[in-house]
A and B are shown apart, each in its own frame.
Chain A
Amino acid sequence: MLQPDLVQFIAMGGSQTHNGDEEEGFRGAAEQQVEGNPFTFSPQLLRLHRDHQLFEDGDVFRHMYLQDLFISEAEEQPVPSVSEFGCHISGCRAVFSTLHEYEHHYNSLHRHVCCSCRRSLPSARLLDIHIQEWHDALFTILAQKQDMYLCLVEGCGQKFRTSQQRKDHLIRLHKYPPDFRFDKSRKEKGTREASGEQRTDSAVVAADDVCRSEGVCEVMCGVESNQLEQEESMETHASIEEAAQSEDFSASAQTPETNTERLKPKYSYRVPKTVCFGHGSVRGFRGQRGRRK
């Protein structure tokens, strides 16, 4: 990009050289006077000194010609390079060459993240089920008396008394693999849960500082757990693609509208560097969705 030390920016002052018609533009707009407006763009004339980096390729081209190394057109053509897409979520450094890959990454990893334990689920539905089964005390109580474990396959609708029974059902009827990644039962979390909890606690405390009264969860997580989840979900993409994809895309189509209706999340600028954000994650606290004015 343009190196400040070599470029002389000459922002021609608008007020001196323009007539009144132009005041419709942003220079005179009341918007600019709103306090805290961080937007600063104004058109600028860019004068480039001969040593400027922007001129490098053209200069090399010129000197190739002077030294008789000029290429005729039939030879190698330089290919223009295309911008990469980069995951915005701070701490996630993933980069992609196509928009489709970016969307896929984002929807798979950052969209449906559980607020409490920061696990990343591939769809809104699986997230809902996860939250219910892992983090809902009421569910645990009810499950002792009725069939509460819902089959993971959308449309099946069957319920089971234990997660093991559901798992058997998934394997027998729906031909799921026995080690399906998104059907770990709670007790399998084991040590990970313990260490996870510790991190969660400290992270959640910080979050509470910020948005305690709102009843809205601000998701924060350490990089390590994020990566773990990434690995998990990445590996099983192949196996659950068919099942998840249709759910995924339909879910993601819904979420923007539903979320804007319900929530106006508050974000602190004191967010630590590693942050995991999932669009559906605010559903982690289902019962406490409040409406911000």
Chain B
Amino acid sequence: MWRLNKVRHKAGGHANSLEELRTKRREKERALRQARRDRQLVSKRLLLNEDEEQDTMEVTPGEQVSFTILYTDFRSPQDVVTLFQKLQHGSTEKEAFLRPLSKALRNPSAQLTFIKLENSMHLLVGLLTGSDARCRLQAVRCLHELSHSPHTSAASACLPATPYLLTYLSGQSTKFTLCLYTLGNICPESEKVKERLLAQGIIPALAGCIQNHRHNLAVVEAAGFALFQLLQSKDAAQKVIPAVLASSLPSQLLSVLTPDPDFGLAPAIECAWCLHSLTSSSEDHGELLAQGALKQCCSLLVSLGGAVADGNTDQGVELLVCPLLRCVGNLLSSCPSEALHSELGGVDLVAPLCELVVALLHTLPALAKETAWVLNNLTAHSTESCSALLTLNLVPRLLELLPFSQGINTMVLRVLANVAHKKKEFCIRLAELGLLSALTATLKMADQNVVTLSLEVLFMMIVSCPQVEQFVSQGGLSVLEAIQYNSDGEVRRRATYLLEQHILTEK
């Protein structure tokens, strides 16, 4: 299971070196990045057998063990044919053949072989709905292996089984997690599959599942995963999200957000990613705001952020922080500014966010950038937040972020610009805190966006406060003069305007 208090990663057996592992991970990361750019980013999950899990526990303490690699059964596809024939003809002992069949179906080419056999899926569905409960379970296991296949045809072949899997979700004794992960795996396979599942009532089924099994966090995690998969479809905003928002799922998801100390972060992670999918695919945030989503995400973010900043966190807490940040960021953009304070319910976000940016900068710079984005949305139209940045002495920490690229310094400059834009007094205060000298450095950076934003901030500062001499004496004048020869026309215009209208006339 994916309990994060025991985070495991692929080691591929004792023979593989750490270096191979790293290389493999880097390749995988590259592949994922490309998939995202192609809008094809989809993942599946494989639930292991209990006996597989059991065996892994006996490994020497400290060893990290792979699951799927170690237990991939590389039997020949021919075994699948043999087993299938035995299943077709024998009337008893079916379970005895189903178990090895499910193991054999771990192999991708065996998967293909199996689905091409005549009546193979029909047989499986028959066993799925038969009177033998243990056979049912093994049939689900076989379907699960097929759902995890890298071949679209194999996963789509599971389609006839879906109404039963969904029905069992509202039952009592089936292994819910297996059904849920199977459904989650085949969801994104094709439009046809997704529409069939929607028609068959997957959304109410998931809502019911979470509600009825709220105490069983493994099930909640699996349901969250299945919902997340459903929400990844390209037209989710039109076809899926309205139905989800109309169901009881929003409140369910919010109720799962706070991590259970014993079980770990995994269910909260899945639900948070669902919430992110909801808030980022659709502009319709009314329902979520009404349910108090902003306040809840903020207070959770504050407590997790504090733990991150202190350095005492469970492994993987960033996996929860990330979707929370995104929810807050997008919900803030829908929240009318006069309602901001009440929506936040008095949660002070400014200081925790600043701490979080700094803490994440050296562990996960990408998340630091997302945190800065949230700060921008918070400060854009809120004088209180801007004032808090000044009074809580957070500006120096923000200034320290200005050397860092890949979007971090541009976003931080936006935040500072938001502050400067509010009041003259804020500009004066910012100047006292050293913003002008920070700008003389950012104005020299190669990134044109940084330069443009720096000029905008500089303009606001110079107009508001009589500290031109400070800027000039720190070499600012010569920087501006150099910028007048910049290749970008807009940049040149701004520099010249500043010089002519404000700096050189001051004397």
Sorting the interface of chain A by its residue count into under 10, 10 to 19, 20 to 34 or 35 or more gives 35 or more
**A89 and B482 contact, CB distance less than 8 A:** yes
Q: Does B141 contact A (CB under 8 A)?
A: no
Bitwise, B464-496 to A at CB < 8 A (1) or not (0) is 000000001001011101111111011011101
**A48 and B365 contact, CB distance less than 8 A:** no
Nearest to A45 among chain B residues (CB) is B333
Of B128-136, B167-175, B248-256, B315-323, which stretch is located at the interface? B315-323
Interchain CA distance A23-B245 in the complex, whole Å: 39
Chain A residues near B37: list those with CB within 8 A.
Answer: 56
Nearest to A77 among chain B residues (CB) is B363
Q: Which of A72, A99, A106, A256 contacts B7 (CB 8 A)?
A: A72
Q: In whole Å, how far is A162's beta carbon from the nearest beta carbon of chain B?
A: 37
Chain B residues near A110: list those with CB within 8 A.
Answer: 482
Q: In whole Å, how far is B229's beta carbon from the nearest beta carbon of chain A?
A: 10
Q: In whole Å, how far is B215's beta carbon from the nearest beta carbon of chain A?
A: 25
Q: Which of A17, A78, A85 gathers the greatest number of chain B CB atoms within 10 Å? A: A85
Interchain CA distance A26-B362 in the complex, whole Å: 35
Chain A residues near B453: list those with CB within 8 A.
Answer: 41
Bitwise, B19-63 to A at CB < 8 A (1) or not (0) is 000100100110011001101010111000000000000000000
Nearest to B501 among chain A residues (CB) is A34
Q: Which of A24, A56, A80, A102 gathers the greatest number of chain B CB atoms within 10 Å? A: A80
Chain A residues near B121: list those with CB within 8 A.
Answer: none
Interchain CA distance A216-B362 in the complex, whole Å: 50
Chain B residues near A80: list those with CB within 8 A.
Answer: 361-362, 365, 368, 404, 406, 408
Q: Does B403 contact A (CB under 8 A)?
A: yes
**A64 and B404 contact, CB distance less than 8 A:** no
Interchain CA distance A265-B8 in the complex, whole Å: 65
Chain B residues near A49: list those with CB within 8 A.
Answer: 280-281
Of A172-180, A222-230, A273-281, which stretch is located at the interface? A273-281
Contact A48 to B366, CB < 8 A, known contacts A42-B421, A70-B9, A277-B485: no
Interchain CA distance A8-B25 in the complex, whole Å: 34
**B36 and A81 contact, CB distance less than 8 A:** no
**A59 and B41 contact, CB distance less than 8 A:** yes
Q: Which of B43, B479, B496 contacts A63 (CB 8 A)?
A: B43
Contact A18 to B381, CB < 8 A, known contacts A25-B422, A48-B373, A269-B492: yes
Bitwise, A262-273 to B at CB < 8 A (1) or not (0) is 001101010101
Q: Does A12 contact B (CB under 8 A)?
A: yes
Interchain CA distance A24-B475 in the complex, whole Å: 29
The B-contacting residues of A in range 46-69, CB under 8 angstroms, are 46-52, 54-69
Grouping DSSP codes into helix (H, G, I), strand (E, B) and loop, the B interface class, with mixed when no group exceeds half, is helix
The B-contacting residues of A in range 75-126, CB under 8 angstroms, are 75-86, 88-91, 95, 99, 102, 106, 110
Chain B residues near A29: list those with CB within 8 A.
Answer: 463
Sorting the interface of chain B by its residue count into under 10, 10 to 19, 20 to 34 or 35 or more gives 35 or more
Contact A271 to B485, CB < 8 A, known contacts A22-B422, A83-B447, A84-B445: yes
Nearest to B487 among chain A residues (CB) is A90
Q: In whole Å, how far is A170's beta carbon from the nearest beta carbon of chain B?
A: 31
Contact A65 to B507, CB < 8 A, known contacts A42-B421, A82-B403, A83-B447: no
Nearest to B39 among chain A residues (CB) is A51
Q: Does B162 contact A (CB under 8 A)?
A: no
**B9 and A46 contact, CB distance less than 8 A:** no
**A72 and B9 contact, CB distance less than 8 A:** yes
**B377 and A106 contact, CB distance less than 8 A:** no
Contact A88 to B25, CB < 8 A, known contacts A46-B333, A47-B330, A102-B444: no
Q: Does B300 contact A (CB under 8 A)?
A: no
Interchain CA distance A88-B447 in the complex, whole Å: 10
Q: Does A20 contact B (CB under 8 A)?
A: no
Q: In whole Å, how far is B233's beta carbon from the nearest beta carbon of chain A?
A: 12
**B446 and A85 contact, CB distance less than 8 A:** yes
Interchain CA distance A76-B479 in the complex, whole Å: 38
The B-contacting residues of A in range 106-151, CB under 8 angstroms, are 106, 110
Binding site for A on B (CB under 8 A): 2, 7-10, 22, 25, 28-29, 32-33, 36-37, 39, 41, 43-45, 66-68, 269, 273, 276-277, 280-281, 283, 315-316, 318-319, 322-323, 326, 329-330, 332-334, 336-338, 361-370, 373, 376-377, 379-381, 383, 403-410, 414, 417-418, 421-424, 441-442, 444-447, 449-451, 453, 455-457, 459-460, 463, 472, 475, 477-479, 481-487, 489-490, 492-494, 496-497, 501, 504, 507
Other than the known A18-B381, A54-B369, A260-B504, what 4 A-B pairs have Cβ atoms closer than 8 Å? A22-B422, A69-B25, A80-B406, A275-B485
